[in-house]
Structures are given as structure tokens and as C-alpha cells.
Structure 1
Amino acid sequence: MNTTIKNQKGAVLIIFALLLIVLLGFTALAVDVGRWYTTRSELSKSVDAGAIAGAKNISNPYLGEDGHLRLAEEVARENFSAGYLMTPDSGERSATFTAYADEDHRIRVEGTVSSPGNLAGLFGVDWVATSAMGVAKKNEVEIMLVLDRSGSMDGTPMNDLKKAARSFVSFFEETQDQDKMGLVSFATSVKVDVPLGNNYVSSMTSKINAMDAVGATNAEDSLSQAGNPAKGGLTDQSGVPGNKRVQQFVIFFSDGNPTAFRGKFKYNGTDNIDAVVCGTGNDCGTVYTKLGKPEREEWLSYNPRFTGDGKPKPPGTGTSKCTTRYGGSYVNTTKWYVLDDPDYRLTYRGTTYNSESCFIPTVGSSNTTAPLSTYICTTARGMAVEHAQELKDNNVKIYTIGLGNIDRDFLSQIASGPSFEFYAPTSGELQAIFNKIAKDIKLRLVQ
């Protein structure tokens, strides 16, 4: 009986040894499998990062031909360095990344690497191959460049603006068959130089080069036309489901505060004349003696200073009730319809003027303001902010770029938020700002 007991103790020892080997095997496998899964996860993050970098630089003019693919591979490689997580730092089993340009501007990055089977090698598992793939696509976009070409931009500022704007446009050259872009320039008049559309790089570059600096600052009409599809502006997406909308952006540049606005006027019995009125200087210290043509830097023979009912001068039936203060002579008066808009009332020294008020003061004394002159700037600014808000209410993102001593509070009201506001103390800094915005837009477009 004692012999039998000793034999049983020996069997338990053998069974324990066998179980210990199995337990060690499972432990080894758990350690190695955990590291394999971590390697797979980090490899996936790396190819995703590479694909996104390639997609947002798909048309970066500074990277050269297929430079965005090389950049995608480099970014992926930087996120999974040689020897990471005990993988080989060289040789055929080390991490490799390859980027491809697929259809619809998709960037695909494939990565492979082998992980060692350290403890698992006891069971003949020396290496485990791991692969991952990342894909990123640049979404479609509509962009309107809105550029100030007023007289204060003459000389170096205009040359630097042209250089910066051309650089911005070139960032989207390789995707101009998919992306849409348009150009609005403004001074006293507003021009849709290039309507929103595809294949725009050549035409926009030509129009940018042709810009001349002359006139006042009609910011409000520029924003109005940038958002008007009938004028060549951004597409109306009000009825489009959110997940199917194209991302839309306005890049608004100016070096001065609003001094002009567009409206309807009556003059010498002619109703609903479409014209631009403007003042001189950032504070509209005086009123220009004539109303301007909306599409050209020319002047109509209508004097906005002599306000009234817009009827012809006496004598005759249906003639104006208003006369000038200058020698008592009768004049053709200009009826400002905007004065009847509740949002743009003109009140001065307790008097509220309407569209048929005669002789609104245009020149103030040394200790008073010139109400009609000041009204031009105030109204021009208010209209610009109103049009910007209309764009933002339609999910359009607005970037603002201010040059010099521009009113930052005004640009803040135009922009879509602090991250969309940029300021350049000198025109030499414009190109860097325009390039930064181009890169930011591309980042927002990548999915």
C-alpha cells in the first residue's frame, strides 16, 4: 500500500509540470497577442494620419508632382518609427508605407510590419505580419474670394495682395475640376470678376492681375453679391439636407472701413434708380457730390446732398417742394429710400429724417458731427454686417483678413469666429495669411 501512495504523488508532480508548461504558453501568448494588437492599432493610426495629410495637401503647389503622396508616406512613417513596439528597425520585416491616389481625390495609405513572437516562439511562432490601410477624401468646396481694390490699396499693398491671392488660388489647382471658386472685387463699384465655377485658376489669375486700386470701400454690396447665386455667387443650399451640402467659404479682405453702400434712389422724377453713394475717408467726413454707377467707377449727375422727394425742380406741376440753402435756387432733390428702413433711421438733434426730408445737414460745425456724412459710413457698415450674418445663417464660413489700421471690431462682426479672423500690419504678411487659410480650409474638407 505504501508503494501505491508514492506512485500517486509522482503522478501529481508530472501533471503539475505539464500544466505549468501549458500555463506558461498561454501567458506567453497573452503577452505577445497584446503587443500584436497594440502594433495593429498604432499602425492603423499611422496610415490614417498619413492619408489625412495627403488629402489636405492634394493640390499643394509647393510639394511638386505626387508630393502629397510622398508626404502621406512620410507622415505615416513619423507616426510609426523604426523599431517601435519591438518591431525590426530595418530589413524586410520593418514598417513600410505606400500611398496611392484613388478616384474621387481619395488618398489611400497602406502599411505593413512584422512583430516578433518572443515567448510565443517557444511554440514555433517567430513572426506575425500585420497590415493596415487608411483612406481620406477631400470633400467638395465652394469659395468666394472677396477682395478690396479701393484707392488706399494703390502701390505696394495691391501688388502684395495680388501675389497672395494668386498663391491662394494655386492651392486648389489640382482639384479645380471638383472644387468651385469665384472672385468678387470691390471699391465704389462691385464686380463679380469670375462667377463661381470649376476650372477657374487661369481666369482668376488673369482677373487678379488686372485689378486696379481706385474708389471708395463698398463692402456691403460685395458680401451681398458673394452670396447671390443669380450674380455668380455661392450656390443656394437652403433646401439641401445637411449631410449633402457642399462646404462653402468666403474670404473677405479689406484695408479700410466701409464708406459706401448701394441702394435705390429717386431723382428728378425718375424712380428706383440703382446707385452707390459714398463719403470720403474712413469716417465719411464729407459726401461725394454725385451718386456712383453700381458696376463702374463713374458718377451719375445726381447730387445726394440735396435730399428730398426726388421730384423735378420748379416751376411746373408735380415739382419738388424742396429748395437749396445755397442762394435759394431750386434743385433736383435725391430721395433716399433707405431712410424709411427701421434698421437705418437717421436721427439728429431730436429730429428723425425720412425719405422725403429736405435739407438733412451735410456739414457740421467744429463741435458737431455732419449727420448725412456720418450716416453713410454707419449705414454701409450696418449693411455689411447684415449681409455677413445672412451668409453665416446659411452655414457659410467667413474668413476675414484686415490690413493696417482697419477697425477690428467691424471685422469681428463679419467673421465666423475668432479663429476665422486674421490681421496683417503690413501687406508683406498677406501671402502667409492667405496660405494659412488655404491649408485650414483643406483640413476642414478632409474626411
Structure 2
Amino acid sequence: MNGSLIKVVARGERGQALPLFALFLLIFLGFVAMSIDVGRYVWARTQMQAAVDAAALAAAQSMPSQTDAAAKATEYWMDNSGFIRSQGTNVQFAVTYPEGNKAVRVEARADIPTWFARLFGVDHWQVSASGDAESQVLDIVVVFDISGSMCFDSFRQTETSGAYMMSPGRLTPAGGFNFPRLAANINATQTTIQLNDVRIFTSTNASTNRSNFGTTFNSTTPYWQRSASGLRAGMIMIDNELMRITGVNVSTNTLTVQRGQRNDATGVMTTATSHAANAEVWANRTGYSSTSDYCQLASYYTPTTTQNGPAQPFDAAIDAAKYFTTLFDPTYDKIGAVRYSTTAAISQNLTSNFSAVRGSFDAILWPAGATNIPHGLAVGRQVLDGPGKRANAVRVLVLVTDGIANTYCGSATYSAANYNSTSCSTGSGVSTAENHARQEAQRAANGDIIIFTIGLGDDLNRQFLRDIAAIGGGQFYEAPTTAQLDEAFEAVAEQTHIALVR
């Protein structure tokens, strides 16, 4: 009797458990089904927002052309919305142009069909996203290094003193002397060589010597006999071979030379080799003592705005700075220019007349002087705070240099007052100059100025330029060669052009 009762109770419990199990299984499957559909919704929403943001940023770069902006937005939407377009229905995509700084708004929506949620009466999810971007209104100043080292790629140092560089001098007669060239081929063993004109090396007129070779040669001692600290007398260079003049015969236009001389700047001996007629005969030239005229004396031409140089990397840097202005829109943006060497000066206040900005670069005829980066930063800040300043503009300072900060304003102790004008009494020293520059960069950053730095060539303190950019909230770009300058300027333009503003 008792055993029969127990069996009846057990069968009853099993009968109650089965419906409960089925109920919980149904609920569990419902959660699983919902999680799959919810996951599809979340993925669709994430992809849609990313696609919309990419489209908005791309479109903003094409403004103010709304046609180009719409085409670019559509291109980026198609590239980034594959899941939406393959899985969704009623997909909508639109580009509009709200009021603002070259603003673009991209909006999208779609219905994403559900798989399991429809069992509960939900047959689709609706997803939508929008993104606003604007190509920002910019006030930009290019702060441009015009120190004497900006012609050193064209002319090389061969003496222990960095005040002297080998160069050709004027193509047209300077001091009445013809541009010196070989008059005939020479072989590797000749020690008597004929030129078209040797008088430039024998002049005893101080002003003529100064006009041909620079301030250090302001002497009646002729070039071929003139020596100074770090300078050997009578050094010339033909192609890559250094020679030393030991005698001059004006009547026959010949030089007696010692061949294959040492480059004292590098410590490397040059090799005596043959040279062809008409090869240029280079000489040491300088100008650092007072007038800083080395680069203009070294070049082939008397400098003008239409004929100059060669003076590399100066020439290429000027061209790159002019190209930089073409990356912006004068309808919205303004650009100014500052040049700096021993001190800084305003070349052009903020203007939307980009032709005037390019003209201000062309007006810099040759590089000369030391490298006062802190004053360059200070005068750049003055331009951004000066005529043409706009309250709604993003303020950008682009510092370009090929060297190391070595000059500053005032004393070794930094004083902001020394950087409030375009004139200053200068001191020299790398560590002090860099300290002043960091403080001037901070002063600019405190005024909401973003600083980008571009370092040209190899003679750079890269960490210092990174520091200046970091203080200013920008970036440091390196251009080891002049061929990479355009890329550096393009990178700055891309960084400053656009922003998501949602």
C-alpha cells in the first residue's frame, strides 16, 4: 500500500516538472534569440555611426564645394556601410549643409530585420546616426627660418671655421672680373692650370675683395695669400677636388696649384682627378662678421624677386611655403608670414590675399644671420593677435627651421617683456635660446595657439622641436630632404583642416 502511494506521488511530480522545464526552455531560447537580434542591432548602430563620421570628415575636406563634398561623403559611406546596406531595408543617406564654418552634416537610417524577435512581435530594429564636421576657419602664420645655414646645401664648408663656405660667386663680372672657369681640360697630375680670368684671386683692392669674398676679406691682401683663423690661404675647389694656389700668372691666366688637398671640415683628403674645360672654380666666401652677406655673395645672381640663388634649402623651402598657402581657402582662411634669423620680423599680417603672402616669401632675397627661434615664435604670436584676428578662427603657428636655436632676446633670464616687439637686443647660447623658446611656446599655447614644427635636414635638435610642438598641442614633422617639405606642409594642413563637431 505504501509503495503504491510513493509511486503515484513520484509520477505526479514528474508531470509537474515537465511543463516547468518546457517553460524555462522557452524563456531561455527567447533570451538567446533576443541577444542575437540585439547584437545585430548594436553592430548595425556602431557601423552606421562609424560610416557617418568617416563620410562627414571626408566631405568636410572638400568644402566649400558642396558637389565635391557630397561625392566624397557618398564614397566613404559606400566603403564603410557594407553590413547596413546588405542586411538593412529602407536604407537612407543624406548630406546637408548647416550654417557654420564650412560645415557638413551626414545622416543615415535603416531598418534591420530581426530573426527571432519577430516571435515576440518585433520584426525589425530601426537604426540611425548623424555626424557633423566642419573644415575649420583658420588663422595661420608661417614662421620661416632665413638664417645663414639655409644656403649650406648649395655650398659646402671645407675649412675648420664654419664662417667660410666654398661657392662660385657671381656669373656676371664682380669687381670687373669674369666668373672663374677652367679654360682647358686638365688631367690628374697637372699643377699649372689655365683659367679664363685669374684676376679675382690677385686683387689688392679691399672693397673689391670684400664684394667678391665677404667681410672677412676686406683687406688689400689678395685672396690667394689671405689667411685667417680657421682659413687656409688660396683654397679653391673644382668639382669635388680641393686645390691650393701657390702662384698666379695674370699675363697667362694660369694658377700654380697643389692638388688633392684635405677637406679640413670633414678631415677627408680629396682626390686629384681630371676636370673638363668650363668647370667652375669655387672659392671660400664669408660674411658673418657684420653684414651677414655670405649667401648672397655665394650665389650666381645678384638677388631679385625673380632671379636668385642657388641657395638650398632656402629656395625649396620658399617654394614649399608658397605651396602651403594653396592648401587653404581664402574664402574662409587667413594666413600671415614671419621671417626670423638673428631677430624676427613680420613679412605679412593675417590676410585672405594669399598672393600677397606668396609675394612676401618671394621678397626674402637670401638667408643670413643666426637662429632666434624664441623671437620667431613671439612675432608669430603677435601676427595671430594682430590685424585680421578673428574670434571664431582656430589659430595655428607653423615653425620651419633647418637648424638649432642659438640666439635669444635679452639676458639669459627669460623675460616676456623682451618678446613683445619685433626688435630685441640679442644674446647667444643654445641652452638659453631653447629655454626661451619653450617659454614663448607656452605663452602662445596659453593664448589658444596650436604650434606645429617642421625640421628640415639633419642638423636639428629633434627633441627640442618635439617639445615646442607638444607644448603647443601640435605635432613635429621631419623633412630630411627638401623633396619631403611639401609632404610635411600637407600633413600640417590635414591636421588643421577638419574636426568632428557632432
Q: Which category describes the TM-score, using the shorter chain as reference length?
A: 0.5 to 0.7
**2:338 aligned counterpart, secondary structure:** strand
Q: Tell me the alpha carbon deviations over residues 329-365 of structure 1, each in whole angstroms, 9 at most, x when there is no partner.
A: xxxxxxxxx4xx4628xxxxxxxxxxxxxxxxxxxxx
CA distance 1:214–1:136, shift in 2 (3 Å)? closer
Query: Which letter maps to 1:203?
Result: A
Partner of residue 255, structure 1: 402
1:142 aligns with 2:154: no
Distance 1:394-1:97 versus aligned 2 partners, 3 A rule: same
* Deviation by residue 1:355-409 (Cα, 9 ceiling, x = unmatched): xxxxxxxxxxxxxxxxxxx953456555444433322343433221111233315
Structure 2 unaligned segments of length 5 or more: list them: 1-15, 152-308, 415-425
Change (3 A) 1:216 1:410: farther
Alignment equivalent of 1:100, drawn from 82, 96, 101: 96
Q: Which residue of 2 aligns with 1:115?
A: 112
Distance 1:68 1:400, change over 3 A: same
Choose the corresponding residue for 1:376, options 413, 428, 431: 428
- Aligned partners of 1:230 and 1:168: how far apart in 2? 17
Q: Secondary structure at the match of 1:113?
A: strand
Describe how 1:24-63 pairs up with structure 2 within 5 A: 31-32=36-37, 35-36=40-41, 38-55=43-60, 57-59=61-63
Q: How does 1:383-402 map to 2 (within 5 A)?
A: 383-402=436-455
Deviation at 1:427, TM superposition (A): 0.9
Equivalents in 2 of 1:115, 1:406: separation in Å?
59
Check conservation: 1:228, 1:234, Cα contact below 8 A.
no
CA separation in 2, counterparts of 1:403 and 1:440? Answer: 19
Q: Which secondary structure does the structure 1 equivalent of 2:77 belong to?
A: helix
CA distance in 2, matches of 1:122, 1:231: 66
| Match of residue 81 from structure 2 | 80
Identify if the C-alpha distance between structure 1 residues 116 and 211 changes in structure 2 by more than 3 Å, giving closer, same or farther.
same
Q: For 1:44, give the aligned amino acid.
A: Q
1:75-125 CA distance string (max 9 Å, x none): 3333321xx2xx5539x9375533333321221112233322434556887
Shift of 1:140: 4.0
Q: Which residue pairs with 1:202 in the alignment?
A: 355
Hey, what does 1:167 align to over in structure 2? 323
- Cα deviation code 1:290-321 (max 9, x no counterpart): xxxxxxxxxxxxxxxxxxxxxxxxxxxxxxxx
Alpha carbons 1:227, 1:234 under 8 Å: kept: no
Across the aligned residues of Structure 1 and Structure 2, the Cα RMSD in angstroms comes to 4.4
The alpha-carbon distance between structure 1 residues 234 and 430, as it changes in their structure 2 partners (threshold 3 A), is farther
Instruction: Give TM-score scaled by structure 1 length.
Output: 0.56
Matched letter for residue 401 of structure 2: S
Does 1:431 pair with 2:431? no
Q: Report the AA paired with residue 394 of structure 1.
A: G
TM-score, normalization by structure 2: 0.51
Structure 1 Cα separation of the partners of residues 413 and 85 of structure 2: 71
Structure 1 gaps of 5+ residues are 1-11, 237-243, 263-337, 345-373
The CA deviation at 1:22 is 9.4
CA contact (8 A) 2:56 2:132 kept: yes
SS in 1 for 2:313: helix
Q: 1:184 aligns with which of 302, 313, 338?
A: 338
Distance 2:332 2:353 in 1: 11
Specify the SS of the correspondent of 1:429.
helix
* Aligned partner letter, 2:451: I
Aligned AA (1:253): V
Distance 1:46 1:19, change over 3 A: same
Number of the residue aligned with 2:68: 67
Cα separation, partners in 2 of 1:127 and 1:394, compared to 1, 3 Å: closer
Deviation at 1:212, TM superposition (A): 2.5
Q: Secondary structure at the match of 1:415?
A: helix
- Which residue, 366, 380, 386 being the options, matches 1:213? 366
Residue identity in the other structure for 1:184: V
Q: Which amino acid aligns with 1:100?
A: T
CA contact (8 A) 2:136 2:498 kept: no
Name the SS of the counterpart of 1:71 in structure 2. helix
Distance 1:121 1:407, change over 3 A: closer
> How far apart are 1:138 and its partner, in Å?
4.1
- The alpha-carbon deviation at position 183 of structure 1 amounts to 1.3
Is contact 1:73-1:109 (8 Å) kept? no
Number of matched residues?
314
Change (3 A) 1:194 1:28: same
Q: How far apart are the structure 2 equivalents of 1:248 and 1:21?
A: 63
Measured after TM superposition, the shift of residue 259 of structure 1 is 5.4
